[in-house]
């Protein structure tokens, strides 16, 4: 599903955020991405979602070669990914419903399906009945869950999550992790960046560890 071949990222300012990253995440795999603040976790996820282009090496995701992808193809590429952003990226002048519905709307889903799917997604993150609210009036954790609902509403084959439980209390964080794990069991490939060592440890999944832009993947050798 995701393959990095000696990929690196140097930002236009000259900062080398990722260096010589190689790993392979198979279809249906669930794994965690850890590392200190500034280690490059968000940058790695941005490379995978074609938000930033790699400046070296090769990045292949879901059959697309992101070094060569044409701008016109990127929307269709992104429709197969659910992304949970560290800063949520919600639209504050729209209702919760409209926010969650966005991935369905852009891909032309019929009105009837939109309603039921949005409600189902909100149900999964424990926000049933908040459709009409504006994200502004929601707590940080609730906003985070809206962004999670938006990422899973269209059942993407690949889920990328950047600190998806950063603002949630331990119980809720565990529920969300369980939700991801459940969806992974249904076939969704999942990559989750997180600081929450305790929670990650308990999940017993593969861990990709970033250290100042370099990957330490103890599982790498036997996973290949």
Partner 1 sequence: MNSEPRHNYRHKPEHVVSHMEVNKTRVEGRVKIYFQRHLQVLMSCLGQLYRAPISNLLTVLVIAISLSLPALLLVALDNARSLIVGWDDNAEISLFLDPSLTHSDGERVKEQLLGWRELSSARYLSAQQSLLDFKAYSGFGEVLELLDENPLPAVIVLTPRDSTPDAVAPLLERLQQLPEVDLAQLDLEWLGKIYAMMNVAERAAWVLGVLLAIAVLLIVGNTVRVSIQQRRTEIEVCKLVGGTNSFIRRPFLYMGIIQGAVGGMLAIILVSSALFLLNGPVVQLSTLYQSNFELLGMGFLFSLLLLLSSMMLGWLGSLFTVSYYIREIEPS
Ligand X SMILES: Nc1ncnc2c1ncn2[C@@H]1O[C@H](COP(=O)(O)OP(=O)(O)OP(=O)(O)O)[C@@H](O)[C@H]1O
57 forms part of the interface with ligand X (CB under 6 A):
no
Cβ proximity to partner 1: between 63 and 72 the closer is 72
Please tell me the distance from the alpha carbon of residue 168 to that of residue 170, in angstroms, as a whole number: 6
x-or-dash pattern for ligand X, window 4-23, by CB under 6 A? Answer: -------x-x-x-x------
- Say if CB 151 and CB 102 are below 8 A apart: no
For residue 42, state whether it binds Mg ion (rule: CB under 5 A): yes
Based on CB atoms, which residue is closest to partner 1, 7 or 102?
A: 102
**Of 44 and 121, which has the nearer Cβ to Mg ion?**
44
Partner that binds at residue 57, options Mg ion, ligand X, partner 1, none, CB closer than 5 to 8 Å by kind: none
Applying CB under 6 A, among 31, 34, 43, 144 the residue interacting with ligand X is 43
Contacts for 33 with CB less than 8 Å, ≥ 6 apart: 41, 44, 45, 191, 192, 193, 194, 207, 208, 209, 210
75: tokens are: 């929307």
Angle, helix 96-106 to helix 111-124, in steps of 10 degrees: 130
Judged by CB, which is closer to partner 1: 14, or 108? 108
Sign of CA dihedral 169, 170, 175, 178: positive
Do strands 16-25 and 2-10 pair parallel, antiparallel, or not at all (unpaired)? antiparallel
Contact residues toward ligand X (CB under 6 A) are 11, 13, 15, 17, 35, 37-43, 86
Contact residues toward Mg ion (CB under 5 A) are 41-42, 86
């Amino acid at each position: 599903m995701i393959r990095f071949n000696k990929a690196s990222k140097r930002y236009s300012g000259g900062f080398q955020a990722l260096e010589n990253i190689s790993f392979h995440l198979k279809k249906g795999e669930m794994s965690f991405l850890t590392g200190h603040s500034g280690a490059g976790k968000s940058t790695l996820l941005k490379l995978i979602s074609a938000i930033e282009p790699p400046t070296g090496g090769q990045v292949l995701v879901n059959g697309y070669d992101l070094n060569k992808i044409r701008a016109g193809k990127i929307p269709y590429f992104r429709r197969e990914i659910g992304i949970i952003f560290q800063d949520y990226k919600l639209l504050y002048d729209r209702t919760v419903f409209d926010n969650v519905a966005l991935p369905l709307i852009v891909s032309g889903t019929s009105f009837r399906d939109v309603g039921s799917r949005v409600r189902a997604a909100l149900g999964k993150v424990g926000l049933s009945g908040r459709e009409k609210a504006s994200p502004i009036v929601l707590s940080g954790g609730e906003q985070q869950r809206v962004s999670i609902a938006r990422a899973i509403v269209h059942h993407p084959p690949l889920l990328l999550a950047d600190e998806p439980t950063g603002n949630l209390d331990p119980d809720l964080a565990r529920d969300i992790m369980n939700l991801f794990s459940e969806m992974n069991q249904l076939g969704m490939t999942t990559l989750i960046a997180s600081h929450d060592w305790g929670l990650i440890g308990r999940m017993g999944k593969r861990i990709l560890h970033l250290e100042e832009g370099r990957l330490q993947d103890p599982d790498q050798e036997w996973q290949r």
